[in-house]
């Protein structure tokens, strides 16, 4: 028998406290019905004997200490899953938001999932062709990877994400789907993604979970969990290759901070809770490939760095968990270069095993090493030029500066619909390197130079 408890003891922000509760379980889902007939969902976040703290996702507006009936459901927050979720739009808690009615569940899953056993993982090695030179050549995306985009407000991270989805899907064909989770994004941004997916004709392969910036903040904490649960179902149950876009992780972390401070927890850096790293990990680590299953979950979380500061706790902790990062650079953006990928601070950790002969081309890793190294020298030359003026530079420095300009303009920069093959990208890299004499190329052995640098 399920008991309903009437009334509350305390309300504090999004948290409500109930007393004399006999049988609450930690982390279980709670339904709160109001006298006016509406209902809200919550989750048990703390138990002290008979005193239970519940987090209410939709916020506590309109709730009083006496007008509620609370029911403990006995199970954690679950998501209804079926193949039919493809093409649907849900709210931040996984409830249909497109007016098409409930999903008839094939199964229900706990949105928190369980950690993947490291021995059951398959080390990701398959390269995904995004058609974007800066990514394909220098920060290669691998199937099953989690590769975030570190951006700042006003930069073109959404456009980049859409371009990746569009161009990566072409190669994948049938088994491909996108799970899109919006956390605290503007309605316009969510619409932009929706329209872009429709335009690219992939909408029936997209599942959307939308928590707009004017939606309840606490709901935001559940949004990525719902999205990843859907992604795991599609990938490991139905065998599809899933690309998950999570935007914006900064809003998510801020929601977590708000929740933590209303619970009275001791803050760590910048007021964020001490468990921010573990919490991020519980999301990001849900990317991967599992032995014996066909599908994969690849994650592209997007976060806006507050004040473009890569050392802010949100990008910092993210970078420690994810397998690399694509960092967008404000100065490139100002020059009108799209995508404004700051390649020196960008990195793909899985790249070393997923490129080269058999994956892309044998010279790939050597070429990218050399491009990185030359571009690092461009920065040195630039800072020297800013002190003594460009005219005073030595011929070698002038040469490298010229290389830098062309590299940014021709290699990094491309249009939003340009889909370069990996061979085009690599050949373009060699063409630019030919601007420099052989002795400047200290990362290349003679054999590679013979085959790719001298030969036209």
Partner 1 sequence: MQENKIFGINGPVVTVLGRTDLSMSEMVYVGEKGLIGEVIRLDKDKAVIQVYEETSGLRPGEPVKSTGQPMSVTLGPGILDNIFDGIENPLEAIAGTAGAFIPKGVRPAPLDEEKLWDVTVTAKAGDTLSAGDVYATCPETQVITHKIMVPPDVSGKVIEAKPDGKYKVNDTVLVIETDSGEKKKLTLCHKWPIRTPRPILERKLPTKPLITGQRSIDTLFPIAKGGAAAVPGGFGAGKTVVQHQLAKWCDADIIIYIGCGERGNEMTQVLNEFKEIIDPQTGKPLTNRTTLIANTSNMPVAAREASIYTGVTIAEYYRDMGYHTAMMADSTSRWAEALREISGRLEEMPADEGFPAYLPSRLSEFYERAGYAENLNGTEGSVSIVGAVSPQGADFSEPVTQNTKRFIRCFWALDKSLAYARHYPAINWNDSYSEYISDLSTWYTENVGEDFAACRNEVCTILAEEKNLMEIVKLIGSDVLPDDQKLIIETARVIRVGFLQQNALIDIDTYVTLSKQLKMMQTILLLHHLAKELVTKQIPLSKITATGVFDKLIQMKNNIPNDRLEMFDDYTQQIKAALATVEA
Q: Under rule CB under 8 A, which residues in 124-163 are in contact with partner 1?
A: 124, 144-145
Q: Which stretch binds partner 1 (CB under 8 A): 20-28, 54-62, 247-255, 403-411?
A: 20-28
Which of 131, 148, 224, 288 contacts partner 1 by CB under 8 A? 288
Question: Is 384 among the residues that bind partner 1 (CB under 8 A)?
Answer: yes
# residues near partner 1 by CB under 8 A: 85
Question: Is 12 among the residues that bind partner 1 (CB under 8 A)?
Answer: no
What residues numbered 294-313 form the site for partner 1, per CB under 8 A? Answer: 311-313
Is the CB of 82 or the CB of 384 nearer to partner 1? 384
* In the complex, minimum distance from the CB of residue 75 to partner 1, in angstroms, rounded to a whole number: 9
Sequence-separated (6 or more) residues with CB below 8 Å from residue 324: 139, 145, 147, 346, 347, 348, 349, 350, 351
Specify whether the CB–CB gap between 348 and 139 falls below 8 A: yes
Sequence-separated (6 or more) residues with CB below 8 Å from residue 120: 290, 291
Cα radius of gyration rounded to whole Å, the chain: 25
The phi, psi pair for 258, rounded to 5°, reads: -65, -45
Question: Is 15 among the residues that bind partner 1 (CB under 8 A)?
Answer: no
Is the CB of 213 or the CB of 282 nearer to partner 1? 282
Is the CB of 173 or the CB of 292 nearer to partner 1? 292
Q: Which stretch binds partner 1 (CB under 8 A): 154-162, 245-253, 320-328, 417-425?
A: 320-328
Is the CB of 76 or the CB of 87 nearer to partner 1? 76
Q: Where are the alpha helices (DSSP H) in 389-421?
A: 395-406
Which H/E stretch holds residue 425? helix 422-433
What residues numbered 165-194 form the site for partner 1, per CB under 8 A? Answer: none
* Tokens standing for residue 357: 């002969």
Alpha-carbon distance 212 to 193, whole Å?
13
DSSP codes, 226-288? HHHHHHHIIIIIT--EEEEEEE-HHHHHHHHHHHHHHTTPPB-GGG-BTTHHHHHHHHHTT-B
* In the complex, minimum distance from the CB of residue 442 to partner 1, in angstroms, rounded to a whole number: 5
Question: Is 62 among the residues that bind partner 1 (CB under 8 A)?
Answer: no
Question: Is 120 among the residues that bind partner 1 (CB under 8 A)?
Answer: yes
Which of 28, 58, 91, 136 contacts partner 1 by CB under 8 A? 28
What residues numbered 221-240 form the site for partner 1, per CB under 8 A? Answer: 236
Which of 108, 186, 195, 293 contacts partner 1 by CB under 8 A? 293
What residues numbered 237-276 form the site for partner 1, per CB under 8 A? Answer: 265-269, 273-275
Which of 394, 409, 410, 421 contacts partner 1 by CB under 8 A? 394
* In the complex, minimum distance from the CB of residue 39 to partner 1, in angstroms, rounded to a whole number: 22
Residue in 199, 141, 150, 196 with CA at minimum distance from that of residue 172: 141
Q: Which stretch binds partner 1 (CB under 8 A): 96-104, 122-130, 154-162, 169-177?
A: 122-130
Question: Is 113 among the residues that bind partner 1 (CB under 8 A)?
Answer: yes
Question: Is 2 among the residues that bind partner 1 (CB under 8 A)?
Answer: no
- Residues 328-367, one symbol each (x = binds partner 1 by CB under 8 A, - = not), give ----------------xx-x-xx-xx-----------x--
Q: Which stretch binds partner 1 (CB under 8 A): 207-215, 297-305, 417-425, 437-445?
A: 437-445
Question: Is 112 among the residues that bind partner 1 (CB under 8 A)?
Answer: yes
Question: Is 443 among the residues that bind partner 1 (CB under 8 A)?
Answer: yes
Question: Is 17 among the residues that bind partner 1 (CB under 8 A)?
Answer: no
The DSSP letter of residue 411 is: I
* In the complex, minimum distance from the CB of residue 410 to partner 1, in angstroms, rounded to a whole number: 21
Residue 76 has a CB neighbour count (10 Å cut-off) of 16
**Greatest CA separation for the chain:** 85
Sequence-separated (6 or more) residues with CB below 8 Å from residue 21: 5, 50, 51, 52, 72
Residue in 148, 224, 145 with CA at minimum distance from that of residue 183: 224
Alpha-carbon distance 240 to 225, whole Å?
19
Burial 373-387 (b: 16+ CB within 10 A, else e): ebbebbeebeebbee
Which of 67, 282, 419, 424 contacts partner 1 by CB under 8 A? 282
Question: Is 119 among the residues that bind partner 1 (CB under 8 A)?
Answer: yes
Residue indicated by tokens 């473009």 = 308
């Amino acid at each position: 028998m399920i008991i309903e408890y009437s009334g509350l003891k305390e309300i504090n922000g999004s948290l409500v406290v109930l007393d004399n509760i006999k049988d609450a379980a930690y982390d279980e889902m709670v339904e709160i019905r109001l006298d006016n007939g509406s209902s809200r969902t919550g989750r048990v976040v703390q138990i002290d004997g008979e005193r239970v703290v519940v987090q209410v996702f939709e916020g506590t507006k309109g709730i009083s200490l006496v007008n509620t009936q609370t029911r403990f459901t006995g199970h954690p927050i679950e998501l209804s899953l079926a193949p039919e979720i493809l093409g649907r739009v849900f709210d931040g808690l996984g409830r249909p938001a497109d007016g098409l009615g409930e999903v008839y569940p094939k199964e229900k899953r706990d949105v928190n999932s369980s950690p993947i056993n490291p021995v059951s993982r398959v080390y990701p090695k398959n390269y995904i062709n995004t058609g974007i030179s800066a990514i394909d050549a220098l920060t290669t995306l691998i199937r099953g990877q989690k590769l975030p985009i570190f951006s700042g407000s006003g930069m073109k991270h959404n456009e980049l994400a859409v371009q990746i989805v569009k161009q990566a899907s072409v190669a994948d064909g049938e088994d491909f789907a996108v799970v899109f989770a919006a956390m605290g994004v503007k309605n316009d941004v969510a619409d932009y993604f929706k329209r872009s997916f429709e335009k690219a004709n992939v909408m029936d392969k997209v599942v959307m979970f939308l928590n707009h910036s004017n939606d309840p903040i606490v709901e935001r904490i559940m949004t990525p969990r719902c999205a990843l649960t859907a992604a795991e179902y599609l990938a490991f149950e139905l065998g599809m290759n899933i690309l998950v876009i999570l935007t914006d992780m900064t809003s998510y972390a801020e929601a977590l901070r708000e929740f933590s401070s209303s619970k009275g927890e001791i803050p760590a850096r910048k007021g964020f809770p001490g468990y921010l790293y573990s919490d991020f990990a519980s999301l990001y680590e849900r990317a991967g490939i599992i032995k014996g299953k066909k599908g994969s979950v690849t994650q592209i979380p997007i976060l806006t760095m507050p004040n473009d500061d890569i050392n802010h706790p949100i990008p910092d902790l993210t970078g420690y968990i994810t397998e690399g990062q694509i960092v967008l650079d404000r100065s490139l953006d100002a020059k009108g270069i799209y995508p404004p990928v700051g390649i020196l601070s960008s990195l793909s950790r899985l790249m070393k095993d997923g490129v080269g002969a058999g994956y892309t081309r044998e010279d790939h890793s050597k070429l990218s090493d050399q491009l990185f190294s030359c571009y690092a020298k461009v920065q040195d030359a630039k800072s020297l030029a800013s002190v003594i003026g460009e005219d005073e530079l030595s011929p070698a420095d002038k040469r490298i500066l010229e290389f830098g300009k062309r590299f940014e303009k021709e290699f990094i920069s491309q249009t939003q619909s340009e889909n370069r093959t990996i061979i085009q990208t690599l050949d373009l890299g060699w063409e630019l390197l030919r601007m420099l004499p052989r002795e400047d190329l200290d990362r290349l052995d003679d054999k590679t130079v013979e085959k790719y640098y001298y030969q036209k």
